């Protein structure tokens, strides 16, 4: 009897091993969406991966058609065009705006999705950015105020109560859409995937062998593919906001795309980049922009207040500041670039 039991256990072990050994090749698809390159990777069998990837790209396109102010007829475009009028939108559009307002509240308005007029003035995301005149900057910052965005959750409408205001979801949409893709992966019981929406990353689950993913943190002063170090994560999002993502240079000055609504200029503190690591990609995206604007001290203090949020902040003088969960080894970060030093 005992023997039989051993045999059974033995067979069970062989069987489970065979299951874990059976690995599928990664299936990756990419497309230019959300004004960036979106690359999604699944590890299911090829046919299943293809079907799921197709669903996920459709979801991204559908979301873009609701949240992009540049797509005519989108929820955000209709809100922007109908000042003073309650505009019916989808529930998730209310949700993304509500989450954006949360980041405005915790940053005293430094993060503000009603920043569209100022974004247009600088035009940094386009081929012809320009340094605006001071009087134009002064006028544009008058047109920023998240308190003028009125949400009616019962009737599912959004109203802009002041003319000149334009909503721009650029600082949070990629994270929010990523979380919707994560919901899909959970529904489909997928256990491993890599989502990359223009550098807005989600390392879903673990690698097939159960180990963590090692993710490079970009050198803000290097070229693409040049890293300062790597961080090991499982089932987490990593989002970076930095001075290198979109910018132009004039007279030796770099003008990047994260604008301070109080000054009307690209935020010029000592930070070169902020990477936020946490479970919600909406939070990671919202917070990376928010903490970048808050600066090293206040930004890091905010990260420390929040549960389950870690940060890697890189200053322009090439120092690396880590949040407590990384410092104490709960999350592993390895510095590989000798030009940088970790500050205690």
Q: Does 273 bind ligand ADP (CB under 6 A)?
A: no
Out of Mg ion, ligand ADP, none, which partner does residue 111 contact, by CB within 5 to 8 A per kind?
A: ligand ADP
Tokens of 236: 């987490």
Q: Is 287 in the site for ligand ADP (CB under 6 A)?
A: no
Residue closer to Mg ion (CB basis): 198 or 216: 198
Is the distance from CB of 267 to CB of 259 less than 8 angstroms? Answer: yes
Q: Is 168 in the site for ligand ADP (CB under 6 A)?
A: yes
Q: Which of 67, 111, 204, 321 binds ligand ADP (CB under 6 A)?
A: 111
Token pair for 66: 């609701």
Locate 104 and state its tokens: 């405005």
- Closest approach, Cβ 313 to Mg ion, in A, equals 14
Q: Rounded to whole angstroms, how far apart are CA atoms 105 and 215?
A: 31
> Reduced to 3 states, what is the DSSP secondary structure of residue 227?
strand
CB of 102 to ligand ADP, least distance (A): 12
User: Minimal CA–CA distance to 212: which of 194, 227, 239?
Assistant: 194
**Segment contacting Mg ion (CB under 5 A): 164-172, 201-209, 303-311, 314-322?**
164-172
- 168 touches 116 (CB < 8 A): yes
Residue 100 within binding range of Mg ion, rule CB under 5 A? no
Using an 8 Å Cβ cutoff, are 162 and 83 in contact?
yes
Query: Burial, 131: exposed, middle or buried (Cβ in 10 Å; 0-12, 13-18, 19+)?
Result: middle
Identify how many contiguous H helices and E strands the chain contains and give both numbers. Answer: 10, 17
Q: Residue 285 interacts with Mg ion (CB under 5 A)?
A: yes
245 binds Mg ion (CB under 5 A): no
Q: How far is the CB of 289 from Mg ion (least distance, A)?
A: 4
Task: Check binding of 145 to ligand ADP (CB under 6 A).
Answer: no
Q: Does 115 bind ligand ADP (CB under 6 A)?
A: yes
Please report whether residue 217 would count as binding ligand ADP according to CB under 6 A: no
Strand, helix or coil at 279? coil
Residues that bind ligand ADP (CB under 6 A): 110-113, 115, 119, 125, 168, 170-171, 174, 200, 241, 245-246, 257-259, 261, 285, 288-289, 293
């Amino acid at each position: 009897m005992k023997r039989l039991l051993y045999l059974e256990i033995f067979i069970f072990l062989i069987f489970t091993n065979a299951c874990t050994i059976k690995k599928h090749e990664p299936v990756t698809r990419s497309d230019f969406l959300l004004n960036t390159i979106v690359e999604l990777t699944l590890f299911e069998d090829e046919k299943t991966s293809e079907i799921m990837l197709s669903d996920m790209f459709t979801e991204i396109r559908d979301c873009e058609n609701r949240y992009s102010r540049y797509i005519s007829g989108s929820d955000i475009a209709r809100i922007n065009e109908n000042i003073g009028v309650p505009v019916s939108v989808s529930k998730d559009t209310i949700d993304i705006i509500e989450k954006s307002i949360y980041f405005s509240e915790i940053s005293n308005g430094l993060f503000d999705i009603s920043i569209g007029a100022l974004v247009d003035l600088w035009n940094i995301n386009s081929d012809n950015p320009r340094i605006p005149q001071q009087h134009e900057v002064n006028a544009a910052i008058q047109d920023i105020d998240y308190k003028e965005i009125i949400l009616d959750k019962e009737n599912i409408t959004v109203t802009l109560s002041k003319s000149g205001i334009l909503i721009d979801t650029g600082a949070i949409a990629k994270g929010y859409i990523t979380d919707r893709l994560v919901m899909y992966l959970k529904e489909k019981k997928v256990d491993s995937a890599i989502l990359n929406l223009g550098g807005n990353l989600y390392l879903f689950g673990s690698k097939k062998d159960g180990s963590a993913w090692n993710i490079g943190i970009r050198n803000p002063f290097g070229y693409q593919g040049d890293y300062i170090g790597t961080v090991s994560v499982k089932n987490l999002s990593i989002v970076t906001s930095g001075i290198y993502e979109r910018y132009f240079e004039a007279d030796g000055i770099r003008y990047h795309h994260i604008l301070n609504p109080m000054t009307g200029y690209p935020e010029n503190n000592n930070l070169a980049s902020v990477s936020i690591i946490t479970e919600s990609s909406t939070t990671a995206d919202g917070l990376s922009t928010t903490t970048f604007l808050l600066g090293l001290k206040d930004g890091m203090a905010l990260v420390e207040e929040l549960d389950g949020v870690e940060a890697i902040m890189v200053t322009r003088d090439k120092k690396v500041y880590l949040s407590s969960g990384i410092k104490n080894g709960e999350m592993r970060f390895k510095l590989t670039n000798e030009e940088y030093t970790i500050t205690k």
